[in-house]
Structure 1
């Protein structure tokens, strides 16, 4: 499974810089808050988690 740590870190930085909560992000993507938190921290590394990370990066245009 590809490593998503750099992407996860960039998402977390983006959330902090833009005062967006993990809960808000989870609601936006229709994902349970705990699952979103697990995806962003790397506690849960699944194909679905990877898709969510890539989708967030694409949607928010994070570079």
Structure 2
């Protein structure tokens, strides 16, 4: 599975620049805040589910 570090960094930058709360984003995608945080920043970063979530956020918000 390819590394998604660049995509993750872009998603986190978008979240910060647009004052989006991780809780709100987690709710929007149907995840708990803890799981969502682990997918983006923590122990679950390099899992297939994390890659799927990052790709979905990039696609939904047109992050480039």
Q: Do the structures match in fold with TM over 0.5?
A: yes
For structure 2, list consecutive stretches of 5 or more residues without a partner in the other structure: none
Describe the shift of the 1:7–1:42 C-alpha distance in structure 2 as closer, same or farther (beyond 3 A).
Answer: farther
Partner of 1:59: 60
- Describe the superposition over 1:22-63 as per-residue Cα deviations: whole angstroms up to 9, x where unpaired: 111100000111111011115202211111110000000000
User: With structure 1 as the length reference, what TM-score do the two structures score?
Assistant: 0.91
For structure 1, list consecutive stretches of 5 or more residues without a partner in the other structure: none
Runs of 4+ with deviation above 6 angstroms: none
Structural RMSD (CA): 1.0
